Amino acid sequence: MDAATDAIIVADRHGMMQRANDAADRLFGYDAGSLVGQSVNVLMPRALAELHDGFMAHHLATGERRIIGIGRDVEGSRRDGTVFPLHLSVGRADIGGETMFIGILHDLTDRSATHEALARSQRLDAVGQLTGGIAHDFNNLLTVIIGNLELLQIRGPDDRQTSLIDDALASAELGADLTSRLLVFARKGNLKPVEVDLREQCRDALAILRRTIGERYTIRTDFAKTVSQVMIDPVQLQSALINLALNARDAMPEGGEFLISVADVTIDDHYMAQETDIQPGEYVRLFISDDGAGMSLDAQRRAFEPFFTTKTDSGGTGLGLAMVYGFVRQSGGHITLYSELGHGTSFGLYFPALGRVHAPYAAPGATDDAEPPMGSGQVVLVVEDNPHVRKLSIARIRDLGYQVLEAATGDEAHAMLASGTRVDVLFSDIVMPGALNGYDLAALVRKEFPDVKILLTSGYASDVITNRMGGTGTYRILHKPYRHSDLAERLQELL
């Protein structure tokens, strides 16, 4: 049982666990051996747990096999209360007159996340196809409307008619602009790509932005000294930049700061490809980060859908981010979104670099020619509130030869250290729920546990949120998404 990678639980007719393997303890977050003697109800969400005893009593009384011998997808509840998807298969055995039930449980968290991402992508593609067809039809209608209005202008209308025609033309041209943006989202618009330097394009856009966004906002730039060329439509890029900057301004009604960053990035290992959903290769990455209100999880999931907006009161159309998404995808690139409520939002635009050969896809477990520096069993405490990112970070660090402990919040991590847990490196996210953010945790650890090395990570383009969160520039930040080799080198430097 303990050699099995899936969780295995043996329970009696009353639902009391008699055996539970190591994988079951790990899956549900319990100490080794502590599940034995507890009811299986502790592994279920409350609503299901309240029904479970009735299901079992019905089966034992009638012999009806609703779930016995049949695998199905259900939800489990970990010790910390988090609910997650899993696949459950239950079998029955009668041993020495005693009825026993054997459950085999497989974690579906990664599969569910993959399905959700695929469904979101397919939904956007379907909406894009529908939108493209509608936009083409509207363009035909608007062509007729604009043409007839212009003919009326030529025929010498009186002053009253001229005013009405001008208003109608202005509205028709606004409609034409909206449909052109819809076509870009649908990736059917006519782009005019040329070879450009993203830094120059950003400077041109900033010349417009600084005059329009107001004095309450600070724009910072962080451009790498050397950046590869990309093949994109400069007009659409500047439109995308302005859209993202205006969104950042709206998220900071009382003023604030946003940063624009441009640098080459290499995606050459399966971890980073998994995190960004981008094929490995050479890219130029454009980051736009703000320290505004941030976005809810629902808003993040729907951010790129046309006509979805959180600014209905202020006249938002919901086409800005949809247009940015379509432009980036039509340019052969990819866009990522990272946001935390109350702390800000960061968009990453990835464009294929010109003149650089894309690396072949590296299968999981494959390594580059230059092996990353490996650890020798040192203990790294990973502190990350996002369970998917935490799981990925743990896998990365274990692959590098380190032992790994985990905590979901800064408070939990500090409690672990205060209890005497031995740790060599603290690897913590900056923005986390609870009393301690990453900077606060790092300051406490530096004071109370000076032998523990500290490495912080963030999904923002730079320390744009440092001042707001009480941080300092004394900590080096590993920015998400990061390469496997970058993580290995940082850990090696610390140790």
- Mean pLDDT of the 356-383 span: 63
> Above 90 in pLDDT, residue 457?
no
Residue 446, beta-bridge partner list: none
Q: What is the pLDDT of residue 469?
A: 46
Q: State which H helix or E strand residue 101 sits in.
A: strand 98-107
Stated length of the chain = 495
Q: What is the pLDDT of residue 123?
A: 58
Query: How confident is residue 386, by pLDDT bands cut at 50, 70 and 90?
Result: confident
Q: What is the pLDDT of residue 259?
A: 84
Question: Which CATH architecture does the domain made up of 379-494 adopt?
Answer: 3-Layer(aba) Sandwich (3.40)
Q: What is the pLDDT of residue 127?
A: 57
Q: Using CB atoms within 10 A of its CB, is residue 193 exposed (0-12), middle (13-18) or buried (19+)?
A: middle
> Above 80 in pLDDT, residue 198?
yes
423 HSE (CA, 13 A, CB side): 30
Query: How confident is residue 459, by pLDDT bands cut at 50, 70 and 90?
Result: low
Query: How confident is residue 276, by pLDDT bands cut at 50, 70 and 90?
Result: low
> Above 50 in pLDDT, residue 65?
yes
The structural domains of the chain, with segments of one domain joined by +, span 7-107, 112-185, 194-352, 379-494
Secondary structure of residue 305 in the 3-state scheme: coil
Higher pLDDT, 74 or 304: 74
Q: What is the pLDDT of residue 187?
A: 46
Superfamily designation of domain 7-107: PAS domain (3.30.450.20)
| Separation in Å, CA 424 to CA 55, 202, 493 | 48, 42, 13
- Mean pLDDT of the 111-130 span: 60
Q: What is the pLDDT of residues 407-456, one digit of tens each?
A: 999 999 999 999 999 999 999 988 777 888 888 899 999 999 999 999 99
Residues with Cβ within 8 Å of 494's Cβ and at least 6 positions away in sequence, in order, are 425, 453, 454, 455
User: Percent of the chain having pLDDT more than 70?
Assistant: 74
CA-to-CA distance for 394 and 209, rounded, in angstroms?
41
Q: What is the pLDDT of residues 317-359, one digit of tens each?
A: 445 677 788 778 878 888 888 887 777 888 888 999 986 434 4
- Mean pLDDT of the 64-85 span: 79
**Closest CA relative to residue 318, chosen from 474, 127, 482:** 127
Q: What is the pLDDT of residue 250?
A: 77
Superfamily designation of domain 194-352: Histidine kinase-like ATPase, C-terminal domain (3.30.565.10)
> Above 80 in pLDDT, residue 66?
no
> Above 50 in pLDDT, residue 481?
yes
> Above 90 in pLDDT, residue 5?
no
CA-to-CA distance for 408 and 386, rounded, in angstroms?
8
